[in-house]
Structure 1
Amino acid sequence: MNDINENIESPFTLKVSFDQILKHYEVLSKSDDEFIAAKACRVLKTAEGYPELRDGIINSQDLVTREKEIRIILQDSFSPILTKNEIKTASVPFHNLIFNSSERFKSIIETAGDDFELQIKNMPEDDSYIIACTIILSFCYGYHINFKRPFYYEIPDANGIMQYYKILYNADFVEIIPSKNAPKITQEDVDELLDNFDNMEMWKEKFPPNSYTFKGFVISNIFNITDDQSISNIKSSLIGEDKRKDKSFMEDFHQIFQSLLGLKDIKVGFSIYNEKEDTFEHVYGEGMNSFLLNHLDTNDCSDTLCKVSYNRLLKEKKFYAVSDVDKFHKLSKGKAPQYKTLKEQHIKSAILAPIANENGLLGILEIVSERPKVLNSINANKLKDVMPFIVSAVERSKNEEQNLIEAIIQQECTSIHPSVNWRFEKEAKIFIKDQFNGNKPSFNKIAFENIYPLYGQIDIKGSSDARNWATQQDLTIQLNGIKSIIEAAFDIEKLPIYEQYLYQIEAFLEGLSTHFQVDSEQQISVFIKQDIDPLLEHLLVVESLRTQVESYFGSIDDKVDVLYNHRKEYDDTIALINKEMASLLDQKQVEAQVMYPHYFERFKTDGVEHNMYIGESITKENSFNPIYLYNLRLWQLQVMCEMENSFYLMQPNFPVKLDVASMILVFNQPLSISFRMDEKQFDVDGTYNARYEIVKKRVDKAYIKGTKERVTQKGKISIIYSQKQDEIEYLRYVKFLQSKKYLDNDIEIVELQDLQAVTGLKAIRVSVLYHKDKDDQSFYTYEDLMKEISA
């Protein structure tokens, strides 16, 4: 197989060409620098007589034949001085064909062994086709679609330890040429592709195989990222649920730590600390070991560690490294229990790392080797970057274990609303009976049929904008504080790095004021944590700056480690609103349950939502009548008005002024709900009933037909429905509440723009009447109330 395009499906026909780089040398040959011009002429002369070097090579054997000429052409890109240090190749993209490389790269491949086959690890075949298409969109049509992913090689070193190498492509010497038959790509095509990433047939229709010529080559700059990748792998391994049940989990974990520490023959173990009993306990799971406990399930800390190691790990929460177990066992005269236990297992060196949070020790990470001195106090410091992930995993594991200790009904279900608790008790009794009789117990499906749903929400308007504004204010204040310190430091010592930091701060400040984005907060926080905080710690020693730096650190919130003034006011406001609205709703629910039992649940988001279900199957009695449904609907509408009033009475006391909008969703057909054991909540059953859930999730963002006005508005209650009979029913309720001075007289009926899979929705909108205070007998519209409050 000589054709480099053989057995590869791609929109490209690949041609290895040096035309673009030779054009660069044509320019350099006219340089005023005689040395540069002479060298450029030499390179151009080398290429003379070999037109294939410019026209393009598709036969791999021709690359071998022209190896000498190619090496001369690429000499500046592959500097002989750096060839033993840089890891670099020349190739075509997403292809394992390499026709020039640095000496360092060759050495790495040779060390990997004769059986090693170089491959890009995270490049699925379909993805490579689509990446090629996005390159064409950028090169030929100017559509820049970001599908960049980090590509890397996995290559074992001389000791068989896996090393990870990141690949960065330089495509300066590439041109892409469409064939005569290549379909012309339009904006409409691009828009269609944006929503069809997985539709490979569509991509191939727009970009048929071999419809473009890739002419040139890429230079791959390759970097060893083993430490970073090992840390990432540790994090990924710990994130997944139930990993301890996976037989390969600990085997993979050993390999990850081997890569991190660069040591082949090491093993990893864990022991959990029981604070109440001051003991270490075995961690249960496939392949889990504790080298401190050896064969014991549990052991007193005093019988596991000597006083020095006990204080080091439990009190000081620092690494305890033993570079030579035999030596220290001898020095302790066999009395230190940790050396004795390790020696019995033929362990020669070890690192014991405390898994601890602010509350104390959670457990011990144990890394051991059967070779002396390979584990020591120096390489123990490499664990600092991974310990936070291990701490988080152990915290989660302890919480999970505590949850498992709960009663069986908590294990199988969740806290249950009193109106349906009878049904769960019935199933729990059947569960216990089956378990007692030796049968395999299981919770039967719990469902309620022919029940009527009611849904309402009081939603905070513009919460995202308010949060963004608060974030912008805090970050601006914090950055300006940092800026003034660095300016003062620059006046003292003219370091270029200070200028660079000031430039970065100015860029961040401009971005905050002009185009604040979702990831701006994260970018600035990383910049401050990684670059600025260490600098300010250093500047604390400068006498003239100490007061200013201490003042800055004093403005930083200890809990969240950022300046947290406006954001705290926003968060406190949201928490207060949710607390007060939920509390009022809960109080009113007690009264409603007395009228007629029904299922009720509420959720705190940016506001408060509630679900109610009423029907015969929930009450367990032959007592249900539609009058109870009508009563609950009227009650809901009245309570929503009271919640609106309660909110605006409290609004002047909130740290941040926010508004709310209320909505009720009417669904006039009975449906069925069932308890989902996996999500621990009730959900509707059936395709038709699912329409109700779809509307719930989308309707508050719906627009009035033909406008850009949202159906939910501050100062109004919106009642969403689809049937004429619902309109008639709720207009009766509205008129009644108008007579009670809950609602104003400005009723409007509007049609809603169609939602995805939902059409024909309408809404009754009517303004709420407010009281200035609890004793005030006057009634105000929203606008009147705002004037009165601000007067």
Structure 2
Amino acid sequence: MHTEVLNISKNECTICQVETCLTFNPFVAHLKERIATEKTLKSEFYRYVLERFEHDICIDLDMRPTDAEKYREMLELIYSILTPPIANEKEFHWALSTPVPDKIFFSTEAFYEFHSSHHSNLYTLNVSKNEMFSDRQKRFIYNLILERMYGFSSAMKNELLFSYQDPETGLSRYFNIQTDARFVEIELNGELPELSFDTIEPYLHSHTSLELIEKAIPLNIFKFKGFSIITLTDVTLTHALDSIRTELVNHSANEEEQYAHIISSLKSLAESPGIEFGLMPFLTINNEPIFDNDECSRSILLKAAKDFNLAEETFDAVVEDYNQNPRPIFFNSITDDKIGKFPFLQVLKQAGIKSYGIFPVYYNKKNVGIMEVYSYKEIVFYEKLLSKLQATIPLIAQLLQNSIDQFEARIAGVIKHKFTSLQPSVQWKFNEVAWNYLKEKRKKKKSPEIETVSFSHVYPLFGAIDIRNSTVERNSALQEDLKSLLSILIETLQVLNEHIHLSLTGKLVSKCEEWLERISGYITTNDELMLDTFLHNEVNPFLEHFRNNYPAERETIDKYFDAMNEETGASFEHRRNLETSMQLINTSINQYLEQAQTEVQESFPCYFEKFRTDGIEYDIYIGQSIAPQRVFDTLYLKNIRLWQLRSMAEIARMTHDLGDQLSRPLQTTHLIFIHSNAIDISFRNDERRFDVEGAYNIRYEVIKKRIDKVLIAGTFERLTQPGKIAMVYFNPTEAAEYDEYIRYLQVQGYLLDDLEYLELEELQGVTGLKALRVGVNYQLPLLNK
């Protein structure tokens, strides 16, 4: 035990305006009370201690901290009574201080060493810049006065949290500093000021109104007599768990930083600098696991797998196998024998890891990921460590589930932004319907039918940008690819026949030649299926046999199988070029419409829905019911019709200019259906899109789907042609309106001076269709874009 005087704060500061006296009297009074009430053998010990105090005249004696050595025996008796008998002073952080904690005058070996090594400044380490040591002293004093003299208990306890970095481990450690003032008496000199609860309530709850209580209670009328007890308790493990909980509460913070903080807390909990941690949530797309570095960067196994090029299939197999039988696995050392049983350990060994362990993490009985424990040196996973980690598993489970939820929310956000029908212009209606549904559900206490989202009396606009002769182009590409494949196959079989004489080889060559002739015309789906059956059932097994048993022929045969690779093979080249070209055209159109519709929405909110076919089709609906807070006028309808015609011209120019970038030359056609009458639409939950309502409205939908291939009356010419914009209508007034738009855009340089008025062939159930058709100006620059 030490009797050297230790300053609690290393900064010199003025003690609060309260008189203090270091004395044993309150302790002696406590002994007398215990002797009177204690019924066990402890009473004899208490009586012995009391006699020693009375014999050495320690009662009614005021002492200075520097006199502690004179009373060492008395102080050791106090220590014996106030601490557990089995406490080891080399491990137990305990000390006695002046009544208002300022100076330590008696301390255990552990406390003295701790204070000396950290220059403790115990009461100021967690003090903010605006808070002085004297403020803490004042709060300690006022808390005691309020409790002892007024009976008010403060929500703030006489506890502090002290943190430091352990020099041996480099890890943060945390101690709770508790001040016990039960042997401090308060002596009043004068009258006690009157005090109401309302006056001091702000201070009791938050200690933010120190000035308020200073005015109400002067300190110069009080005297503090006795001594305080200071105890330091290692709360590193508790603090680590609390830190993880705090991070989970603040789960809106940056996910990467959150994982880093939690792993740091796990390392503090482990109390070993050599132990590292990794965390990996199990993320899935369509129930298939995915492993993305950005999402799982805290997994050492995933990092090592990517760094050392572990095959993705192998890694997937490892995870799938583990998911089927999740259990804790520990490797205190990574040896060649263990690598033979668990091949994934090879990449960990290459990364320098000597010990590795996995904990499966469950959330609501579902395996949501793993926690990894590893080290770059061989260690033993002691039961003590495993017990500590077990306490964190529910918290880690919540963290990994949060990551899964956030990942799924991001996916849903992309889907909602890019694909869903719920656009901002109609979102309000869905919100309204959903709220009504929740209210009805609450009233009926069971799930009611959700009402249909519908909009009445809206004006439709339809546009279609189609890739010309896409079916013919697909058949042509297929034909060219199959000819290429059969040519390579015939060549392969002929080379084989030169080295391995089999009559069957000649027969296969003959069948291939028959197929070459058969696919020279239009290829039906049945032709394609039959050829595929021939290749997979007859040719491929035949060639596989020779590739496996005749190494000299392997190179020749591999050329054929390489040609069948969908991503790189020669027999898919034309189809790949076609799909790439179509993708470029459709992506360009889609991006244009995404940007261009902003102009439309700014004039008046409307519903804008795109569909992917071989090209792009879109529906636009505009009307009062879509934006009830604004006044609708037909001028907005005219404005959007003019925009539609101009945008068609711009799209035609854009797709024409893409010609040099296309792997396979393609052209687009451009169609608008003019419908002057308003219709009703409703949202179909099963298809997640709007559809028309009523028999008359459905007629609009039928016409819209049939006019893409309509012919000009009395001819075999398709209405839609590359370089032209076709506008189908019924009513002559519609033609007159669009005639004005066309003439305006001709002046602006968008369209050519070749407007045609056309009669169209009758369609099934539809007569009287007419059309306007005008050429797009590819040559002159646009004057207004």
TM range (shorter): 0.3 to 0.5
Q: TM-score, normalised by structure 1?
A: 0.46
Greater C-alpha Rg: 2
The alignment's TM-score, normalised by the length of structure 2, stands at: 0.47
